Amino acid sequence: MRRSILLASALATTLALTACGSGEGTAGGSGDEPADDAASATAQASGSLTVWVDETREAAVEQAAAAFEDETGVDVELVQKNFEDIRADFLAQVPTGEGPDITVGAHDWLGEFTANGVVAPIELGDKAGDFIPVSVEAFTQDGQVYGLPYAIENIALIRNTELAPEAPKTFDDMIAAGEKAGTKFPFLIQSDGDKGDPYTYYPFQTSFGAPVFEQNDDGSYRPELALGGKAGEAYATWLGEQGEAGNLSTDISYDIAVEAFAKGRSPFVVGGPWMLEKFGDLDLAVDPVPAPGGQPAQPFAGVQGFYVSAQSENALLANDFLVNSMSTPQAQTALFEAGGRPPALVEAADAASEDPLVAGFREVGATAVPMPSIPEMGSVWSFWGVTEASIISGKADDPAAAWDKMVSDIEGSIG
Amino acid sequence: MSRARYQGAVTGSGTRPGAGFAVKLVLVALVDALGVFGVLAAWRAGSWGILAATVALLAAANWVYFTKRSLPLKYILPGLAFLLVYQVYVVGYTGYVAFTNYGDGHNSTKEQAVDALLVQNERRVEGSPALPLTVVESSAGDLGFAVVSGGEAEVGTADEPLAAAPGATLDGGVVTAVPGWTVLDRATVLQRQDEVTTLRVPVSADAADGSVRTQDARTGYVFQPVLVYDEAADTMTDATTGVVYTPNDEGQFASADGETLPVGWRVTVGFENFATAFGDDRYAGPFVKILAWTFAFALLSVVTTFALGMFLAMVFNDPRLRGRKVYRTLMILPYAMPGFLAALLWAGMLNTSFGVVNQVLLGGASVPWLTDPWLAKLSVLGVNLWLGFPYMFLICTGALQSLPGDVYEAARIDGAGRWRTWRSITMPLLLVATAPLLISSFAFNFNNFTLIKMLTGGGPRFDDASVPLGHTDILISMVYNVSGLDGSAPRDYGLASALSIVIFVVVGVVSAVAFRQTRKLEELS
Amino acid sequence: MTTSTQARTQGLARDPQQLRHRMPAGRWARELGWRHLVGVVAILFAVFPIVYVVSASLSSTGTLTGSNELFADVSGANYAALGATRFWTWMGNTLVIGVATALGTVLMGAAAAYAFSRFRFAGRRPGLTALLIIQMFPQMLAFVAIFLLLISLGEVVPALGLNSKLALICVYLGGALGVNTFLMYGFFNTVPRELDEAAKIDGATHAQTYWTIILRLVTPILAVVALLSFISTFGEFIIARVVLQSESNWTLAVGLYGWVSSLLEANWGLFAAGAVLSAIPVLALFLFLQKYIVGGLTAGSVKG
């Protein structure tokens, strides 16, 4: 075990050097490397790794890949894909043998990936303890870990401290504070036309005690709907009221919400860390989403990570790369700096939490629930948002009835 | 197109028959050379299908170009070859998929499914430690693992359980040398990584204790299989419960009481997909509405784009009009934009509260362009009009100028008014001239998935249906939903292919009939 | 509406300038003025969304859906930022693929159209219909089959496999015989057959007739088909996205789609700038070919 720690620190050195001096750190780093036997022995190793990344992660993975290339002599080829395409393409291409060795991905793809046998388990061993527990849990199915987590993301309430100096306690407090600020919108939450955005609205829903699925004791979900019943109807009624009052609107898209907040047209916006770069020089604070219902408002936690293809011909290299190169604080911090998503590795997360905004998101994230990764979730998404949108926009006259119909439609679709 | 021009062409070119033949010979020789290269490459790669296809195409090419009897084929063959390989084959393959259960849970071959099941069902023995591991090779050439367990070195292979290796050298908690074994360096390990990752070294003679495996050749863990595959009997056995799973016709392992294992493989299922396609009650109601809207959408798209295109073409067909070139160029602009971009752009512009159409053009109105059932249909048609009229404008501009002047002359003498001339002469002639293009435009719009998907996503939803379909969904987007390609259900490529074939037949028959009609029309005029 | 007739009968040769001067204002309004009016309205309809894109491309902050203040701030930042992306590589790829596909389509389509127009053979009419129909197969699922086909081809000849521009061109050429063949077929039919007969009497082979006489006479339609093929290749992204895997091989449509397909990474400004620039080659080609297009579609369509 000590050996792997030594190795990790050797990698860390190399990584850090490549990070500051582009490419010139390779030779200089080996002098004080404690595990230089590994480096020299493997200088001529053969093999190559193909990694699918999306645009925002490419640069960060490239740093880690360069260090890994220097250490092992293998060639790491990064293929840039659209994040949305990766899921379907991975499913389609892995069985043909054309897919990558490793791909970046989200934890909620796991159910589909295992059902199709396209991912291989990753043994994190004792390293599992170095990660924030929910991140590893999210990639776990049936006791096996299938992904190396690198980031946890969740939404929270972002507040413009100039317009609203204090964090609101309840939803009504927030509306009152927003109205007092005299801005165009009391608060902003994104939706997507008649498709709705149940992901962003989820904290409100959980505050009424209506989670999507029943959860087992270990945190995993079972495919039994829990969003119906009295609690769900209460949430639906609330949506209808707020839509009528004009506090919620399905016309506010992501772009519109971000731009309005950036221009100071509202003191509050519900959103994630990915929005922050658009808010430039505003003075911000990150608070929990205020609960309109009686229970805490829990957002979804989404975990991002790397999967290894079940058909990889370089499984050994792929696992080595992930477990020993991508799980270092340096690599995870580089990914954080490139994409703004809070790291999943505790050490990197602690470092990132020096930024109060990141710390704020992390604090809210502690109460978050992982997004279900069971395949049944697909059926839920396709009814959920549309129903919420039609309730908010007032198209559904009877919110509770619309909600009940949604529940029975989802049940029909799950079969 | 006069005779004078033709004569100029012939005298100007001055080619002798011999030169043409030489060119042909060189070209065919080139094709043959490439073909033979392809055949050899296919032979080496063992791709018999490609080999056969290449040989067939090569033989056809040589026959066609060296016989006197196949004059038309000499001109059609090059395009036909590409058509056969890249279009007909694709249609044929989709037809084949329609008879399989390819989709989620049946994504790959049986071999891969077995591998995946075994890999997924191997559990790390609870509480077992992480073992620093070195890959070694025995003098007999067997791969083995040397691990450090409780501070002591142990070594073993697939056949020999781990045993203490007293003389081993440890450095930094890892075995660096074992007497009688060669420690493999990293390069060799990587070269043989497939063997390394599949190697299982038993912990003891008792199989129930599990075996050591590694994923990175640095650390080993003790694992125990939950599922065991018996290759001879082709069965899976659950090691903990003893249940035996056998392969069934659906491409899954199933136990005697019908329980199946999650990962399956692709098998042919006959006409089952076609039966499923029409068997789901939940889709019965929406289907009729969607079918009607699909025809309406495709037809109206052609009619509106054609009408506007024709009108504008006639307006700008006056040579006295100044700035025609500028008008024409600006009107082509929508055609220069990729379709997906235009749809996305319009979706933003038609946003009820913030879109530029409501905010700026209509002075702050809140017209629900994309969320009201009828307005959404109107918007879809409107956007498609924007996208499609330049094409029709181009075609009509050309066709108009070619209309025979003498007919108009006759009409004028007969005292026909403008409207009458247009209705009984211009319009029919234009229709005849552009019919094949209109038919193909109809077929294109019938399957115009990109527009619907990007603009409305099919919405607004039907209030009374239990499936996620909406007022602007067309057949092809319904297929997307039914077969789960939109993520709302497990993906089923088999079903999607079957439905594609059905749609293809519908569109094909409608087009063929329409085509036949226009030929009659053509003969009449 | 019969003004085109009038134009014909009143003499095409007359200088429009002169006409304008001689025409009383009332008649000008009745015969030409309203045309300008229609033209302006049509152009507003055609161009307005594009003005919107141009505005977004010049805005340093605005998002596409959220900014209704056209040209509120003007900066070239987005255009400059394109230099840091692979935009120009994609532009190059797109031009190579577009031009190659257009040339191939014209060569093969024209040859087939000639055969269908000039020779009478068994299966001619059904063949024509089949060409029209086969293109109607819904392409939604084609990517699965194309992907597998290219994997197999790539194992034999890597240049025809995945991630090769040549392979993509070949896939596009699979559609060379299709609607475009019809367009050309109609045009070929208007070239008098007497020309062929005369050439035959002069001792020309069918190949000589085709290459030296017919093709010269139908240059306009060739230009039109080249343009149509180029434009459709330019905007195609579904198959290109599957075939071209590495970013340096992408076409503009694939690259631009990537920039906007993701909500969170919405690079609207960059995307808008890219979209504006990518429309330029198409417009340039159109301007260059306009005289052919107006003449080219002319004769061809008469006998569809």
- B460 interface with A at CB cutoff 8 Å: yes
Determine whether the interchain pair C2/B508 forms a contact, defined as Cβ–Cβ distance below 8 Å. no
Alpha-carbon distance A199 to A210, whole Å?
14
A174 with A188, same domain: the answer is: yes
Pick from C64, C245, C264: CB nearest A274: C264
Please give the Cα distance from C55 to C71 (Å, whole number). 5
Choice among B142-146, B354-358, C267-271, C276-280 with the minimum mean pLDDT: C267-271
Residues C96 and C221 in one domain: yes
| Candidates A200, A259, A274, A275, partner chain C, best to mutate (most C CBs within 10 A) | A259
> Do C163 and C267 share a structural domain?
yes
pLDDT at residue B524, rounded to an integer: 54
Cβ neighbors of A187 (< 8 A, separation 6 or more) are: A174, A175, A178, A247, A266, A267, A268, A269, A270
CA angle (A308 as vertex; B157, A154 as ends), nearest 5: 135
Residues A249, A356 within the same domain = no
The beta-carbon neighbor of A125 closest among B219, B348, B486 is B219
**Number of structural domains in chain A:** 2
Plot region of A48 (φ>0 → left; ψ -120 to 50 → alpha; else → beta): beta
Asked if residues C155 and A98 have their Cβ atoms less than 8 Å apart, the reply is no
Q: Which two tokens stand for residue A290?
A: 């205020």
How many residues make up chain A in this entry?
A: 415
Cβ–Cβ under 8 Å, residues C189 and C299: no
Q: Is A195 on the interface with B (CB under 8 A)?
A: yes
Angle at A84 between CA A83 and CA A87, to 5 degrees: 90
pLDDT in tens, C246-271: 778 889 888 888 777 665 445 677 88
**A229 — contact with chain B (CB < 8 Å)?**
no
Tokens of residue B371, six digits: 């969320």
Query: Which of B9, B336, B403 lies at the smallest CB-CB distance from C213?
Result: B9
Q: Are residues A96 and A51 in the same domain?
A: yes
Q: How far is C73 from chain A (nearest CA, A)?
A: 14
Q: Do A98 and C247 touch (CB under 8 A)?
A: no
Reading the block at residue B53, the tokens are: 């296809």
- Out of C35, C58, C75, a domain closes at C75
Q: What is the pLDDT of residue A66?
A: 87
Q: What is the mean pLDDT of residues B234-256?
A: 89
Claim to verify: residue A406 and residue A344 sit in the same structural domain: no
The domain boundary residue, chosen from A331, A347, A365: A365
Q: Which residue of B has its CA nearest to C261?
A: B344
CB atoms within 10 A of CB C291: 12
pLDDT exceeds 80 at position C274: yes
Q: What is the reported pLDDT for B195?
A: 87
User: At what angle are helices B493-524 and B475-482 packed, to 10 degrees?
Assistant: 170
Q: Which of C66, C147, C162 minimises the CB distance to A255?
A: C66
What does the alpha-carbon distance between residue B520 and residue B92 come to, in Å, rounded to a whole number? 32
Output the pTM of the full model. Answer: 0.81
Query: Cβ–Cβ of A121/B119 closer than 8 Å?
Result: yes
Q: What is the ipTM of this complex?
A: 0.83
Same domain, C35 and C172: no
Contact (CB<8Å) B108/A143: no
Secondary structure letter of residue C29 according to DSSP:
I
Tell me, yes or no, whether C208 and C66 share the same domain: no
CA distance B203 to chain A (A): 18
State whether B263 and A117 contact (CB < 8 Å): yes
pLDDT bucket at B434, cuts 50 / 70 / 90: confident
Amino acid at C165: K
pLDDT band for position C9 (cuts 50, 70, 90): very low
pLDDT tens track for B361-404 = 888 788 888 888 999 999 999 999 999 999 888 878 777 766 66
Cβ of B86 within 8 Å of Cβ of C39? The answer is no
Which of helix, strand or coil describes residue B204? coil
Confidence of residue C237 (pLDDT cuts 50, 70, 90): confident
* Statement to judge: residues A76 and A162 lie in one domain: no
Compare all CA atoms of chain C with the CA of B316 and give the residue at the minimum distance.
Answer: C35
Does A49 share its domain with A161? Answer: no
Q: Are residues B6 and C199, on separate chains, in Cβ contact within 8 Å? A: yes
- C283 and C251 share one domain: yes
Residues A99-113 pLDDT 10s: 899 999 999 899 889
Task: Check whether residue C194 and residue C251 sit in a common domain.
Answer: yes
Domain identity same for C64 and C118: no
CATH of residue C259's domain is 1.10.3720.10
| Site from A124, A251, A324, A409 to mutate, B interface, most B CB atoms within 10 angstroms | A251
Q: According to the per-residue pLDDT averaged within each range, which of A286-300, C6-20, C111-125, C145-159 is highest?
A: A286-300
Residue after which a domain boundary falls, among C30, C57, C75: C75
User: Based on the domain organization, do C55 and C151 belong to the same domain?
Assistant: no
Tell me what pLDDT residue C259 has: 77
A254 touches chain C (CB under 8 A): yes
Q: Kindly determine whether residue C170 and residue B86, on different chains, have CB atoms separated by under 8 Å.
A: yes
Name which of A143, A193, A310 is nearest B371 (Cβ-Cβ).
Answer: A193
Contact: C5, B86; criterion CB under 8 Å: no
**DSSP class per residue in B341-405:** HHHHHHHHHT-TTT-HIIIIITSS----TTTSHHHHHHHHHHHHHHHHHHHHHHHHHHHHHHS-H
Identify the residue with better confidence: A85 or B56: B56
Please check whether residues A272 and A175 belong to one and the same domain: yes
Domains of chain B: 16-97 (1.20.58), 124-225 (no CATH), 281-524 (1.10.3720.10)
CA neighbor of A268 nearest in space, from A362, A391, A173: A173
Domain count for chain C, please give it.
2
Given C36, C53, C75, the domain boundary residue is C75
C260/B344 touch (CB, cutoff 8 Å), yes or no: yes
Which chain C residues are within 8 Å of B349, Cβ to Cβ?
49, 52, 65
How far apart are the two ends of chain C, measured CA to CA in Å?
Answer: 24
- Residues B406-442 as b/e (b if ≥16 CB within 10 A, e otherwise) read ebbeebeeeebeeeebbeebbeebbbbbbbbbbbbbb
Rg, chain A, Cα only: 23
Q: Let me know whether C71 and C87 are in one domain.
A: no
- B71 to chain C, any CB pair closer than 8 A? The answer is yes
Q: Do B320 and C139 touch (CB under 8 A)?
A: no
Interface check for B447 against chain C (CB to CB < 8 A): the answer is yes
Name the β-bridge partners of C68.
Answer: none
- For the segment B114-130, the average pLDDT, to the nearest whole number, is 84
How many contacts, defined by CB atoms under 8 Å, are there between A and C? 55
Q: Which chains pack against B, by 3+ Cβ pairs within 8 A?
A: A, C
> One-letter amino acid identity for B42?
A
Domain span at residue A81?
Answer: 2-153+302-365
Minimal CA separation from B114 to chain C, in Å? 22
Q: Which of residues 83-142 of B touch C (CB under 8 A)?
A: 83, 85-91, 93-94, 97
Q: What is the CATH number of the domain that holds A46?
A: 3.40.190.10
What pLDDT, on the 0 to 100 scale, is given for residue C62? 57
Euclidean distance between CA atoms B201 and B212, whole angstroms? 5
Give CA angle at B108 (B104, B114), nearest 5°. 105
Of C114, C124, C140, the CB nearest to B75: C114
DSSP A163-174: T--S--SBHHHH
Would you call A47 and B484 a contact, using CB atoms and an 8 Å cutoff? Answer: no
The parent domain of residue C221 ranges over 83-303
Could you tell me if C45 and C126 lie in one domain? no
Residues of C in contact with B365 (CB under 8 A): none
Q: To the nearest 5 percent, what fractions of chain B are helix, strand and coil?
A: 55, 15, 30
Residues C51 and C168 in one domain: no
pLDDT in the model for residue C61: 63
Contact at CB, C140 and B418, closer than 8 angstroms: no
Distance of alpha carbon B180 from alpha carbon A415, whole angstroms: 61
Contact indicator for A178, A266 with CB cutoff of 8 Å: yes
Q: What is the DSSP secondary-structure string of B30-72?
A: HHHHHHHHHHHHHHHHT-HHHHHHHHHHHHHHHHHHH-SS-HH
Do C70 and C99 have their domain in common? no
What parts of chain A have a pLDDT lower than 70?
A: 1-46
B241 and B256 Cβ atoms separated by less than 8 Å: no
Whether the link from the prior residue into A370 is cis, omega within 30° of 0, is no
- Tell me what pLDDT residue B188 has: 84
The residue whose two tokens read 């370089």 is A314
Which chain A residues touch B460 with a CB distance below 8 Å?
194, 390, 395
